[in-house]
Chain A
Amino acid sequence: MRPQFTRLRAAVALLLALALSLGVVACGSSDDDSTSSSEEGGSAGAIVSNPKNANVNLTIGSKNFPEQEILGEIYAQALKAAGYKVKSALNLGSETVALKAVNTGQISGYPEYASTALTSFFGLEPEEVPSDATGAWEKANAEFEKEGLTAFEPTPFASANAVGTTKKFAEEEGLETISDLDGRSEKMTLYGSPECRQRIDCLAGLEKLYGLKFKSFTPVDIGLRYTVLEKGQADLSILFTTDPQLAAEKDKFVILEDDKHVFPAGNVIFVTKKSVAEKAGPDYEKTILQVQEGLDLKVMQELDARVELEKQTPKQAAAAYLKSAGYVG
């Protein structure tokens, strides 16, 4: 083989490797959901369109997994109903990308989990994240304010990681809380997302805070979190509290109570630039707070179910929510 060919092949190889690695980056975006508490939300009342808003252009963003896309659609459609000119960008790869998009003005704002904001953006340890929604929001908002940003009040629902298993296994082993695993986890296999392995709000925390050791931890794609339980490959699997399967298949799957709070609470707060909020006028914040009032854990699971299990689009699910809750006519 002549040297120039070798060099050409090497260059091609380099490009291929890079292209493939980047492809993986694009597909394997991080997925941070965090904890739960739910309260009944709900004074409805239709959104009123304000002609003053017609001159304001807004772009609503979200990260690229179903729950985020649904939230993005809900906010976008509600703001449209309030008279704004709204575009959406619902495919931002990770919180880092999303925050950058807010800062550069590419998007006006996007929904973020308060716990994710505090740990990813502001360097808090998960155990330092306040377990109540208001506390977490106030703390995050104070940090955002320093950077010319602001976060609106949190949603009723919170999303969090959770240790889940089949109902059958939980009953056989008498498991209700994560502490119940003490002394028995050595015989159990745990499956979770690749990033779970080293995160303190996931496997690392279960080992450190609960003192648990598992027979093995196997990283798998997030999309397989229920499959591995169903197939009997995993005894335990890391699930999310807002998972639709938990509502739709109550008799099949359960989550163990996080009695030592290793998974911090993640109510959703809408993050936007202060200057954008000022320019958009009072209806911006008012509309967002109004439409998220009805989003308790049950409603969010139901909306996730429509998209993840029934294959509706986030747009359809959001529209159905806005209509049934009476926000739009």
Chain B
Amino acid sequence: MSISHPVFASFGGAIEFIFTPQSSNVTGGKSVGGLSQTIELILKQLEVTVLALALALIIALPIGLYLGHRGKGELLAIGLGNAGRAIPELALIALVAALIGVGLVTVTPVLAILGIPPILTNAYVGVRQVDRAIVDAARGIGMSELEVLRKVELPLAIPTVMGGVRGATIAIVATATIAPLAGVVTLGDYIINASIYGENGRLAGAILVALLALILEFGLAALQRRLTSKGLQLKTA
């Protein structure tokens, strides 16, 4: 297959758009896109993602760990978690924007809502599935409940907990593309405004968001390996 195939041609245009400013019909001669605008938008996308993820972690992680440790609230942790995945973000962002206004204060909690279900559910399941014999042994040697959670259950639950965090991150970073509809100019700007950036800009936006998701995924996978205690790590034969 030659490089002139339309699909490759449009990828080429999109890649060029990321690095070099392009002319646009509707901006009165000002060029759009290019590296400086792209970096600005990427940083905004990351800022929103980090804030929303942090908020989701602060809310969901303690609740999930606590419920898992106590072995209570399965309905809450799993049911609420699953129900939360069904919330339409676009409708929610419009609703919240109409109620409390726009900007980071709106976008951050709306995206955090997207991150809470996987973190909550995985934290609960992760702690819950730790072998009860080990937990009993920990209590038997005189650990306090907090120590049991911190020194025994959490380390054993790390792979599952991190799975939730990774899922939440991917969902948040991808959905942060709707933020320009509520006053925060992220990479979604390239995707939403085809009349300004053209199809190349739209594709460039999609490619960049996908790349960001991949980079975050690999970064968190590496972090997970470091956090997982040696004894738990699966060795590739």
Contacts and interface: CB of A to CB of B under 8 A. Distances in A.
Interface of A: 1-3, 6, 9-10, 13-14, 16-18, 20-25, 27-28, 30, 32, 94, 96, 119-120, 123, 125-126, 191, 194-195, 197-201, 204-205, 208, 218-221, 223-224, 227-228, 231, 233
Contact of B210 (A14, A24, A94, A198): A14
Contacts of A198: 24, 26-27, 30, 32, 193, 196
A18 B210 contact: yes
Interface stretch (B115-123, B148-156, B213-221): B213-221
A220 B236 contact: no
Interface string B165-188: 010001101110110111101001
A25 B27 CA distance: 21
Nearest to B205: A21
A31 B166 CA distance: 36
Q: Is the interface of B mostly helix, strand, loop or mixed?
A: helix
Contacts of A28: 178, 181, 188, 191-193
Contacts, number: 153
Interface in B83-141: 90, 93-94, 97-98, 101-103
A16 B171 contact: yes
Interface residues of B, number: 54
B180 A194 contact: yes
Contacts of B199: 96
Q: Which of B24, B170, B218, B224 has the most CB of A within 10 A?
A: B170
Given A25-B202, A32-B195, A221-B94, A194 B175 contact: no
A219 B195 contact: no
Contacts of B177: 20-21, 24
B76 interface: no
A200 B102 contact: no
A20 B97 CA distance: 20
Given A195-B195, A205-B28, 14 more contacts: A16-B170, A16-B174, A17-B206, A17-B212, A21-B174, A21-B209, A25-B202, A28-B193, A194-B192, A198-B193, A199-B27, A200-B28, A204-B30, A221-B94
Interface in B220-236: 221, 224-225, 234, 236
A18 B170 CA distance: 11
Interface of B: 24-30, 32, 90, 93-94, 97-98, 101-103, 159, 166, 170-171, 173-175, 177-178, 180-183, 185, 188-189, 191-196, 199, 202, 205-206, 209-210, 212-214, 217-218, 221, 224-225, 234, 236
A23 B174 CA distance: 11
Contacts of A27: 90, 178
B211 to A, nearest CB: 9
B101 A231 contact: yes
Nearest to B190: A21
A199 B217 contact: no
A228 B99 CA distance: 10
A24 B28 CA distance: 26
Given A218-B183, A219-B180, A220-B181, A1 B224 contact: yes
16 contacts: A6-B221, A9-B217, A13-B213, A13-B214, A17-B170, A17-B213, A20-B175, A21-B210, A25-B194, A119-B26, A123-B25, A198-B32, A198-B196, A208-B28, A219-B180, A233-B101
Contacts of A2: 234, 236
A25 B192 contact: yes
Given A10-B218, A25-B192, A219 B213 contact: no
Contact of B26 (A14, A201, A227): A201
